[in-house]
Every structure is written in C-alpha cells, then in structure tokens.
Structure 1
Amino acid sequence: MTAPLLSLYRRLSRWPGGRWLFTRAVCLKAPYFASISPRVTLLEPGRCEGRLADRRKVRNHIGTVHAIALCNLAELTAGLMVDASLPADMRWIPKGMEVRYQAKARGTLQAVASPERPIASAPGGYDLPVRVVVSDAAGTEVFTARIAMWVSPRHAKG
C-alpha cells in the first residue's frame, strides 16, 4: 500500500505547479518549514529531493545560506522520505541530527535524503539513520546531515 503522502505527491506532481502546491501543503501542515520557502522536487520510497533558493531571508550576516536554513531543509527532506517509505503500520519522529558544514552555501541548493539502511515494519521500535547531502549548482557538497529517526509501530506508546 502506498503511503498517503506519496499518493498525494504523485497525484499533484502530474500537473503544472503540482510540486509547488504539494510543498505548500506540507508547509501548511508543518508551518516552520515555510520559513525557508523550500520546493520538493522528487519524492519516492527511499529518496526525497528538495531545493532551497538563495534568498535574503535565508542568508546570514556573511551572505551565505544560514546554517539553520540548511538544517530545516535536511529535516524536511528526511522526514518526507521516511514518511513516504514507511509501511502503514509504522510512524516516525526525529531524535537527533549531526551536521557538517563543508563549504560556503551560496546559490540554489539541492538536498537529497536517503536511508542508511532498509525501512521496514518491526514489532518494536528501531533507529533509522537518514543521510542528507546538500549540494550547490556546481555539485559541490556544502552540507551533510545524519538524522536519527525513531521508527515504531503506530499502536505503540513512546
């Protein structure tokens, strides 16, 4: 069975402006992500790609994309990827994030989120590490994140 989020993405992305509309819907559900004006460019089981335009509102005092904007993009793409990949009987929540700032982040940035191990149903909860790589237009990795997701059955407490 296809995750509802993935079904919505597939339905909307067939239309002009559909990915923009999908991203807006995600930002309505999780308003904090709207602060960076992201764009989801691909969503499929095991992979999510998102774009962040270099705008004044995401820059820091030295004129590069702010570290927290990069973290927001990483958390958004990782969360969407996990949500689109999970079996219907499972849920997720982020537990932590390790990040590395590798180069000055300038221009339009592209994030790619993918799991470090297979995503599956399990009788108990488990840690799922998700890797996110953010690159600039030249393909230079400017930021990487490893996000620890806690995946557990929907009926479980905690």
Structure 2
Amino acid sequence: MTTSSPSLLEALAAQTQATANLIRVCLALEWTVFSRSMMSVVTIAFFYLVYLIFTLRNVRQPLTVWEKLGKPVIKPFRPWVYSFLLGKSDPYANSIDMRVSTLSRGFCTAIMRDRHRNRNPFKSIHATALATFAETVGGLALMSQFKRRDRAILVSLSVKYLKKARGLLTASSEYTLEKDLTGSHEIQTEVIIKDRMLDTVAKMTLNWKIDVQES
C-alpha cells in the first residue's frame, strides 16, 4: 500500500499535467486560427473599402453610394466612409461635423456634433452651420430619388431659428417626388433640426429647381 499510493499520485499528477498541456496547445492552436481568420477578414475589408472609395468617388447618386456601403463587413464604417465621400463631392460639408445615419428613397436623417469650430460667440452652434447641416440633409433626401441624369439646384431657402442649438443635433427631411414626373419643376422641401431633448431648434424650407429626365 505504501508503494502503490505514491505511484498512483504520480500517475494522477502526470495525467493532470498532460491534460493541462493539451488544453494549452488546443487554446494556442485555436487562438492562432482565430487570429489568422480575423487578420484575413480585416485585410479583405480594408482592400474592399479602398476599392469602394475609388469606384464610388465620382458617383452622383447618394442612395447608390449608401447602399453600396451596406455590405456586412463594411457597414460598421459606413457613416465615416460616406461622410468622407460626401466631403469630396460637397467640400463645404466638411466644415461641419455631420454623419448620415439613415438614407432611403426620399428620406434622410443625420447627426451633427457640437464642436468648437461650429460655435458662435454665444456658446451655441452657429446659424451658418445649422443652415449647412439642413441644406445637406434636405439635398440628400431629394437627390436619393434621382436617376443618373437628373439634376437639382437650390434657388432659395429660409430658416426659422427657434432655440439655441447646443449638443448633439439630429436633422431629418422627407420628400416624395411625384410618380412619372419629368421635365423642369420648382419644388419645396423642409428640414427639421432637433436637439437631444427632441426640441426643435430650427426649421428650414428649401426651394429647388429640378430637371428630371425621362426613364
């Protein structure tokens, strides 16, 4: 009994050590496979993102660009990439820190952060920044319905400033073009800007001249 007990304990210790070593090897192998898989996904996503930016940089249809950036691997980066591409086609939009959050046919919402560069002497967001924000959102909502050869130009606008704008702002615009509309027309769209408390801080009315081509 005195001889077999140490042998049994030694065998148990050896078995435990072997099991621990096996678990470490399995974990190391699994981590290696996982890390390699993640690196592959990141690499593919990066090159695909570069490809999309290159191919979409001159596309004039905002909804097409938005939908192209909706692929599963790219979608988490869509607001930033879309903002970058928007800044290339509309450089003045880079003067405000805005991100499109929703874009569908005839509808757009976006957010604008409260940055020091957007502020006025009264410690609120400058009226011009609000106007730029609203004009951009209204334009995206309208042009999301356009075909490749359709055009729109802003001819006038009016803004009602209802409250000092501070903090994160959300702008939304919705407009549906008449079905089978063709030719030159003047239309009016509206953009509402709200703050974190869902209070309306500004309303903008945009008057557009549009030229819609036949399908």
- Measured after TM superposition, the shift of residue 17 of structure 1 is 1.3
User: Judging changes above 3 Å, is the alpha-carbon distance between structure 1 residues 148 and 121 closer, same or farther for their aligned structure 2 residues?
Assistant: farther
The answer on 1:7 being equivalent to 2:7 is no
Q: 1:46–1:114: 8 Å Cα contact kept in structure 2?
A: yes
Please state whether the residue corresponding to 1:139 is helix, strand or coil. coil
User: TM-score normalized by structure 1?
Assistant: 0.88
Q: Whose relative contact order is higher, 1 or 2, with alpha carbons under 8 Å and at least 6 apart?
A: 1
Corresponding residue of 1:70: 130
Structure-2 separation of matches of 1:137 and 1:56: 18
Query: 1:87 & 1:28 partners in 2: Cα distance?
Result: 20
Identical counterparts, % of pairs: 26
Aligned length: 152
Large movers: runs of 4+ above 2 Å: 86-90, 117-124
> Given the superposition, is the C-alpha separation of residues 123 and 83 from structure 1 closer, same or farther in structure 2, using an over 3 Å criterion?
closer
For the pair 1:136 / 2:198, whether they are aligned, the reply is no
Larger Rg: 2
Question: Which structure has more helix as a fraction of its residues?
Answer: 2
Aligned Cα RMSD in Å? 1.8
Structure 2 unaligned regions, length at least 5: 1-59
Alpha-carbon distance, 1:11 to partner: 2.0
Pick from 85, 95, 111 the counterpart of residue 171 of structure 2. Answer: 111
Q: TM-score, normalised by structure 2?
A: 0.66
SS of the equivalent of 1:49 reads strand
Give the conservation status (yes or no) of the 8 Å contact 2:193–2:202.
yes
1:153 matched to 2:212? The reply is yes
1:45–1:85: 8 Å Cα contact kept in structure 2? yes
Gaps of 5+ in 1: none
How many angstroms does 1:87 deviate by? 3.8
Distance 2:96 2:120 in 1: 13
Cross-structure match for 1:38: 98
Q: 2:110 aligns with which of 32, 47, 50?
A: 50
Distance between the aligned counterparts of 2:95 and 2:179, measured in 1?
32
Richer in strand (by share)? 1
Please tell me the residue identity of whatever aligns with 1:7.
T
Q: In structure 2, how many angstroms separate the alpha carbons of the residues matched to 1:118 and 1:90?
A: 12
